[in-house]
Amino acid sequence: MKFILMKMDVAVTFLRFVTVVLGIVAAVMTMSYVSSFQFIVHCPGKNDHGVSSHINFPFRVSSDRRVYNVCEGAQVPLVLSGDFSTQSMFYVVVAILAASYATLAFLIDICVYFLDDPLYCSKFYKRLMYIIDITSNTILSILWITGTIIWALGLVELKRAMSFEHIKTINTSMCQKYTCKPGTEPTYTMLEFSTTAGFLSCILWIVNLCLIVQRFRHKDFI
């Protein structure tokens, strides 16, 4: 029985370490993301003009109010729609909170189950840790699931808002008078990788929660 309990200890500690890594990856990938887009305004009988801008964290796309000189020297504002700061910032905050707690719990696990400190062997301490660990893991698992789903949906909307067809549709002052042609669109590899890390972390938090429940309910533990 003690061997089974030790295997649970190792599994829980290892999963905590992995969730720390995934949480850091998810937060860093989202916060460090920068990409750009460009489309071409065709001027009859004259040189074409490139209109470009960039997007980055926290993705307040609609706040970009740049004005561009296009055909015949006309100054035309670039209109962008969408504010995805709430979704992205909530996701990053959850990732940082989860990684911070997992780091603390990982260090405690090392002290308790592998260094065999007598201070942590009392029945009172183990029951206290049971309550704290189960509660914290449950809350953070729910937050991870919520944050990841919200940000995944936000990413879908961000892609739609930054597509050439959508930008062309809302920039009537530029693309109705002149001909707008597609150029380069933003790349979303980092954000997709970040979202994948979030979903993987959700799964691992749930698995870890189940292992923690089994570990603390084990008769050799309590």
Residues spanned by the domain of 44: 2-217
> What does R_g of the chain's alpha carbons equal in angstroms?
25
**Which pLDDT score, from 0 to 100, does residue 109 have?**
74
pLDDT in tens, 37-75: 888 888 777 677 778 788 888 898 887 777 777 777 677
Average pLDDT, the chain: 82
Lowest mean pLDDT among 120-134, 141-155, 190-204: 120-134
Question: Cα separations (Å) of 72 from 41, 171, 178, 181?
Answer: 12, 18, 11, 18
What pLDDT, in 10s, does the model give residues 160-213?
Answer: 988 888 888 888 777 777 788 888 888 999 999 999 999 999 999 998 888 888
pLDDT tens for 78-88 read: 888 888 999 99
Domain presence at residue 29: yes
Total domains, the chain: 1
Residue 162 falls within a domain, yes or no? yes
Helical residues (DSSP H) of 46-171, grouped into ranges: 85-109, 123-161, 164-170
The pTM (predicted TM-score) of the whole model is 0.83
Q: Is residue 55 part of a domain?
A: yes
Q: Average pLDDT of 115-124?
A: 59
| Contact call for residues 158 and 91 (beta carbons, < 8 A) | no
Complete DSSP assignment for 79-113: P-----HHHHHHHHHHHHHHHHHHHHHHHHHIIII
Indicate whether 166 belongs to any domain. Answer: yes
125: left (phi over 0), alpha (psi -120 to 50) or beta: alpha
- Phi, psi for 69 (deg, rounded to 5): -85, 115
Q: Is residue 222 part of a domain?
A: no
CA distances in angstroms from 108 to 13, 15, 16, 115, listed in the order given = 9, 14, 11, 10
180 found inside a domain: yes
